[in-house]
Structure 1
Amino acid sequence: MAHGAKNGGSRPRIVIVGGGYVGLNTALRLESRLRHSEASVVVIDQQPHMTYQPFLPEVAAASVEPRHVIAPLRSMLRRCEVITGRVGGIDHHRRTVTVTDGDGATEEVDYDILAVAPGSISRILPIPGLVEQGIGFKTVSEAIYLRNHVLSRLDAAASATDTARRRRLLTFLTVGGGYAGIEALAEMEDMSRLATRDYPAIDPAELRWVLVEATDRIMPEVSRPMGEYTVDLLRERGIEVHLETTVSSMEDGHVVLGDGTEFDTDTVIWTAGVRPDPMLGDTTLPLDQRGRVRCTATLQVAGVPGVFAAGDCAAVPDLTRIDEDPDATCGPSAQHAARQAHRLGDNIVATIRGHRPAEYRHAYIGSVAGLGLYQGVAEIYGVRLKGLPAWLVHRAYHLAKMPSVNRKVRIAFDWLLAALFRREAVAIGSLQDPHSEFRRAADAAGRWQRSHV
């Protein structure tokens, strides 16, 4: 059964698929620019909140509370209808979006104008053992799990007497040298080293953090000298960096690298790239060879009137590089996501009002990255910063981009408390298996009943 009617009665209906950074900010832009009588707006996402992913490394390292890096869609979008469910397909011929909620019920949502921004998922490669051993790093739940997992390895190692098992517990592998991987690695290594102060039985030198990157450099978003500086910094901290190296296998936690290195580990953090949401394959929209929606420079889907796309899932021409590479498209970065959302909202308004949409053009201004407490790298308008200044710029930039004053204040207070007091480095095992204690209680009750029959 269709959810509502096309045109929302007398008003056109705008449906935004995806409530992530692009989807939320596009909806906020529409709320600020559209009059109530001009259109109705529906936002559909599997999660009832937006996650600001650049803060996930600090969530994993216990510098920021998990709830503070998410923005609830319903409280942020007062004039939009929010539908929580998984989009199973888009049929533009019928102008419908198929949505399945958490209970398995399916409905169709009609639209007049569609904005596609479901984002991306981790890119998985056919490496033996990866699916069983790997931990992704794109959601709050993954960041929380990773923090608890790493700390639980320290708990187990503190009482382990077997040398091989102890070495395995204290070995941590990160695959992927992009921004996500480097920031996650640096923050988690920093946290684990600080946490050893509470584990007298563990020498910080026993911690083994390994980075594997398939190309000859890390963080391609910054200049090569800045990438080399970061590699040197990581190695100074005792982190093993393997460049131009791939992972051949990780079955049962036994890792074999392409350069012949072998070791055992219980922790594999997988950040080796992303791919567009596979839901796009169940649509009638045109896709490129990487599975992204083909778009024009105005963020309109090529050859499909009334449909727009932006963010990681969209192949948008990069007009700033078009002279050197006619096929250049915008990469999956936070900078493009923020600016495309702004342009997307304005172009949808222009379309409704009968005006011509404007082209998206963004000159790259630089990048910032945090590398643990008081360490960072930044390259902004050609100015290079390292150490504390870069770390401060990194935090200031992302705090400014975090939606809502509410969230900004909460994160700022998290940082203030972290500066005044030590971080809480305690694993909460029930978060990894919340039913364990209930099952234990049930087993105990069963044993008691059997013993008293």
Structure 2
Amino acid sequence: MRRILVVGGGYAGFYTAWNLEKKLRRDEAEIVVVDPRPYMTYQPFLPEVAAGSIEARHAAVALRSHLKRARLIHASVTRIDHASKTVTVAPEDGEPFDLGYDIVVVTAGAVTRTFPIPGVKEHAIGMKHVEEAVAIRDRLLDAFDRASVLPPGPERTRVLTVAFVGGGFSGVEGFGETLSLATALLRQYPELRFSDLSFHLIEARDRILPEVTDGPGRWVVRSLEQRGAHIHLDTQLVSAEGGHLVLSTGEKFDAHTIVWTAGNGANPVVARNTDLPVTSRGSVMVRADLRVGTPEDVVPDAWAAGDDAAVPDLASPIAGAVTVPNAQHAVRQGRLLAKNIVATLRGREPKDYVHHSLGVVATLGLGKGIFQWKGIVITGFLAWVMHRGYHVLAIPTWERKVRVLLVWATAVLFGRDIVSLLSVQHPRRAFVGGEAPRAMHKAVPEAQREPAGSVR
């Protein structure tokens, strides 16, 4: 049988493979999915994972639970050589090997974009994966426990200082949700005051949320500032060495938690390790029908979609525009890509991708949100309800929808679960060092300990 190789199991990859399973006959093609993670992350729920409003596993969809016919390979693709129709696969254990294919689907997604700012790689956490969102939540909960035994002063403020770098959707949503969690936690810690909290959002442009128009963007800034947040616009992070943040405006402060959400970068396997045509930004050149190539020249047996593909936006009035990298497009492109592959296998012509935006909706914390569709803007509680309603419908599989709804219902009755599992990041500490108090962990050999302030 022909082998259809899907590189990446994120939104676009998962929906492509899922729909191929539904539409292809069993003797028509073999489906192979290669991804280093055994699950698809539903990224719009990561801010709520960071705030403890959603159980971490419920923001992920296990590939093996839902892709019944596909062969799943948990490894990274390090090179795509379409001339020979092979990819190089690097598993976590064992030697790299070559894997052949007849049709390739490139849905490797994007990676977190970083800059060579001193201290960022050593102290910051991203928010693109479930593990990162969990680490942010546990780090904040642990900070409250530590601060509650400290006297008022600079050290208590440092422990309760959180800085988000990047004012796009993921940054603003994560910032608003963690600020909401921190404010709610004060009721559980009578030793602490609201003035002990210090939340900073740092954005290099002169506005946040570029996906909405200027008016709603300014409303979000005012709303966050009224809740005690510090919004730094037209400001760049210069240094974060030792957790000491230096801004381009000259402001300086210490932060216990630094979250980096300053956008996505090109996936290295697409940008540098393939013979497929790519743009100057490192995205695969894609036609409107999702085949790799240009309007004049098609690359046979190669398809791409999602964040690593420059898909023409036929719904945009701007000539040459490409679709923005978000969940709306990735999900719909994955579905159409599967249909188009089946169509070409059966001798039919593929269809072009056209999708008109359904609007943008963001959560800013429990009971707070913003929605915009063209000239219609809704803010506050109703927008927050719309955010939850849209995403519970959008997350794939009924099993996940029911689990998320049950967690939300439980939170209404009993509030957020505020147990920190930060120790999970250091599972050998108790085993190697015994059950001694934290101060006695110096007995743990240096090779077994991680540097202070490090986060994996």
**Structure-2-length-normalised TM-score:** 0.92
Structure 2 CA distance for aligned equivalents of residues 276 and 99 of structure 1: 19
Letter in 2 for 1:212: I
After TM superposition, the structure 1 stretch with the greater mean CA deviation from structure 2, 105-114 or 39-48, is: 105-114
Listed as ranges, the matches of 1:382-421 within 5 Å are: 382-421=375-414
Structure 2 CA distance for aligned equivalents of residues 41 and 442 of structure 1: 49
Q: 1:406, CA displacement in angstroms? A: 0.4
- The C-alpha deviation readout for 1:109-150, integer Å capped at 9, x for no partner, is 211111000111110012111111111000110011111111
Structure 2 CA distance for aligned equivalents of residues 390 and 232 of structure 1: 16
Structure 1 CA distance for aligned equivalents of residues 390 and 365 of structure 2: 16
Counterpart residue number, 2:308:
313
CA contact (8 A) 1:61 1:187 kept: yes
Letter in 2 for 1:291: G
Structure 1 CA distance for aligned equivalents of residues 82 and 99 of structure 2: 12
Listed as ranges, the matches of 1:288-437 within 5 Å are: 288-302=279-293, 303-321=298-316, 323-324=317-318, 326-437=319-430
Q: 1:318, CA displacement in angstroms? A: 1.4
CA contact (8 A) 1:87 1:279 kept: yes
CA contact (8 A) 1:90 1:97 kept: yes
Counterpart residue number, 1:19:
9
The reply to whether residue 169 of structure 1 matches residue 164 of structure 2 is no
Counterpart residue number, 2:255:
265
CA contact (8 A) 1:256 1:263 kept: yes
Listed as ranges, the matches of 1:54-453 within 5 Å are: 54-161=44-151, 163-280=153-270, 281-302=272-293, 303-321=298-316, 323-324=317-318, 326-441=319-434
SS class of match (1:379): strand
How much is the aligned-residue C-alpha RMSD, in angstroms? 1.6
Structure 1 CA distance for aligned equivalents of residues 358 and 375 of structure 2: 8
Query: How many pairs were matched up?
Result: 433
Structure 2 CA distance for aligned equivalents of residues 232 and 64 of structure 1: 27
CA contact (8 A) 2:32 2:72 kept: yes
CA contact (8 A) 2:169 2:362 kept: yes
Alignment partner for residue 40 of structure 2, among 36, 40, 50?
50
CA contact (8 A) 1:49 1:73 kept: yes
Q: 1:381, CA displacement in angstroms? A: 4.9
SS class of match (1:159): coil
Counterpart residue number, 2:453:
none
After TM superposition, the structure 1 stretch with the greater mean CA deviation from structure 2, 78-87 or 182-191, is: 78-87
CA contact (8 A) 2:135 2:422 kept: no
Letter in 1 for 2:344: T
Q: 1:227, CA displacement in angstroms? A: 1.0
Q: 1:264, CA displacement in angstroms? A: 0.9
Structure 1 CA distance for aligned equivalents of residues 311 and 199 of structure 2: 37
- The C-alpha deviation readout for 1:283-316, integer Å capped at 9, x for no partner, is 2122211111111111111142111111110111
CA contact (8 A) 1:145 1:431 kept: no
Structure 2 CA distance for aligned equivalents of residues 20 and 373 of structure 1: 27
- The C-alpha deviation readout for 1:39-71, integer Å capped at 9, x for no partner, is 111111101111101001111111111111111
SS class of match (2:434): helix
Change (3 A) 1:442 1:240: closer
Letter in 2 for 1:371: L
After TM superposition, the structure 1 stretch with the greater mean CA deviation from structure 2, 45-54 or 342-351, is: 342-351
Structure 2 CA distance for aligned equivalents of residues 381 and 290 of structure 1: 28
Q: 1:442, CA displacement in angstroms? A: 11
Q: 1:425, CA displacement in angstroms? A: 1.4
SS class of match (2:99): strand
- The C-alpha deviation readout for 1:157-179, integer Å capped at 9, x for no partner, is 11123722112111110111111
SS class of match (2:34): strand
Q: 1:383, CA displacement in angstroms? A: 2.4
Counterpart residue number, 2:446:
none
Letter in 1 for 2:338: G
Structure 2 CA distance for aligned equivalents of residues 407 and 79 of structure 1: 20
**Structure-1-length-normalised TM-score:** 0.93
Structure 2 CA distance for aligned equivalents of residues 328 and 402 of structure 1: 27
Q: 1:426, CA displacement in angstroms? A: 2.4
Letter in 2 for 1:293: V
After TM superposition, the runs of 4+ consecutive aligned structure 1 residues lying more than 3 A away are: 441-444
Structure 2 CA distance for aligned equivalents of residues 196 and 432 of structure 1: 25
Percentage identity across paired residues of the two chains: 44
CA contact (8 A) 1:365 1:381 kept: no
CA contact (8 A) 1:222 1:366 kept: no
CA contact (8 A) 1:366 1:382 kept: no
- The C-alpha deviation readout for 1:317-340, integer Å capped at 9, x for no partner, is 11222x53x331111111111111
Which 5+ residue runs of structure 1 have no aligned equivalent? 1-10, 448-453
